[in-house]
Structures are given as C-alpha cells and as structure tokens.
Amino acid sequence: MAGARRHFFVCTNRRPEGAPKASCARNGSEDVLFALREEREKRGLSADIFITATGCLGPCPGEGGCTMLVYPEGVWYANVKTEDVDELVERHMIGGEPVERLRDPYYT
Amino acid sequence: MAGARRHFFVCTNRRPEGAPKASCARNGSEDVLFALREEREKRGLSADIFITATGCLGPCPGEGGCTMLVYPEGVWYANVKTEDVDELVERHMIGGEPVERLRDPYYT
C-alpha cells in the first residue's frame, strides 16, 4: 500500500436536531476529523496517513464522541472525542498500536 | 475482524455543477453504492461485507465513474461505473480477488 500505511475513517453522519438517536456529527466528529488532520500535517505524516470522512459506519455513538475505524488493522473506536486525538495520534497513528480504552467493545 | 471480512468504501464527494474538476457523485457514484448494497443483500452477505459512502478519498475520477477502495487489502479502484458492479461483486466481494482492469494505476 504505497502512500497509505494507515487509513483513518471518521464517521460524519449527521441526524437532524431533535432526532431521537445520536449521530457522530452532532457529537463533534467534524472537530475530531479536523484535529486528526491538523496533527498529521504538524507531524509531516501526510504521505503515510490517509484520513477520510464517511457517512454512517454502522455502530452509532452513545452520549458523546464519534465512531472511527482504522485500516488495514480493522480497529473500531467508539465515542471518540477531541481530547482523545493526541493519544490516538501518538499511540496508533505513529506508534501503530490501538488505544485499547477507546476500542468499540462490540466491533472487534 | 468479526462481522466485517471486507469493507468497500465508495467516494460520494460532489462538486457543484460547473466546477472545472469532475467529482465521484457527479460521475454516478451514488448509483454504484446503491447497486453494490443491493447485490450484497441479494446474496445474503450483509454480515460479512460492509459498504460505506465517503467524502473525498483523494484520487479524483476522470471522465466517468468513481473512486473506490477495499480493505483490508487496500485495493484502490478508479473510474468505477454501475456496469462494473456485477464483476466487482463476483470477483472481489465474493471471490476475494481484485478486478485488475479497474485498479487505479497510481494508487496501488
């Protein structure tokens, strides 16, 4: 996979205000996406790390945060918030190790 | 990767009418997405195959078709059209082999 050693997908699905079910964009996923891209640029990782916004990925978030998925590992994250971005960048984007505390307990 | 043996990502980025650059949605990617999902249901593959719409994936399409990406293999497809869906389903979604003639020549 030349040029894409790791690919981060961030769900930016948005349900209307007042919808009974939460959605990633309403839970701040666009801020998570922006922060991930900013860190990638800062650290000079643009050739190796792809970051893509998606429609609904399947698993919906709970009270806070958003759904993320990283390939080629196939690691699902649940309820990711902007305050988790530094750890995701250090540990997973750079270190190659999933952040266990953020993994989706059902999608593994 | 329980529940997701293969994940198809279809770019549904749409540029405005009149924009000088093509975009996947203007090239029919929403129809490709719909056709892929329809075939998945018909063949009873919903537990094993994930299909997700994305924002811009990076490589832009040429005159026709859209950009697609399949993980965990990391296979990039270029200029995919609805008439390619049957072959993609038979060969890659079910058979596990990339459709060589559709592969992106630059993203490999």
Distance from C-alpha of B98 to C-alpha of B107, rounded to nearest angstrom: 14
Across the beta sheet with A66-71, the strand order is A75-80, A66-71, A6-11, A49-54, B49-54, B6-11, B66-71, B75-80
- Computed on alpha carbons and rounded to an integer, the radius of gyration of chain A in Å comes to 13
Full pLDDT tens readout for chain B, 108 residues: 344 489 999 999 999 888 888 899 999 999 999 999 999 999 999 999 999 999 999 988 777 899 999 999 999 999 999 999 999 999 999 999 999 999 998 887
Question: pLDDT per residue over A6-52, tens digit each?
Answer: 999 999 999 988 888 889 999 999 999 999 999 999 999 999 999 99
Q: By the CB < 8 Å criterion, does B3 face chain A?
A: yes
Kindly give the pairing relationship between strand B75-80 and strand B49-54. Answer: unpaired
Maximum distance among all Cα pairs of chain A, rounded to whole angstroms: 44
Nearest to A74 among B1, B53, B108 (CB): B1
Could you report the predicted ipTM of this complex, rounded to two decimals? 0.92
Distance from C-alpha of B9 to C-alpha of A27, rounded to nearest angstrom: 23
Closest residue of chain B to A72, computed from CA coordinates: B72
Cβ contact, residue pair A9, B108, below 8 Å:
no
Quote the percentage of chain A above a pLDDT of 90. 80
Q: What is the mean pLDDT of chain A?
A: 92
pTM of the full predicted structure?
0.93
pLDDT confidence of residue A18:
86
Q: Are B49 and B8 in contact (CB under 8 A)?
A: yes
The DSSP call for residue B16 is P
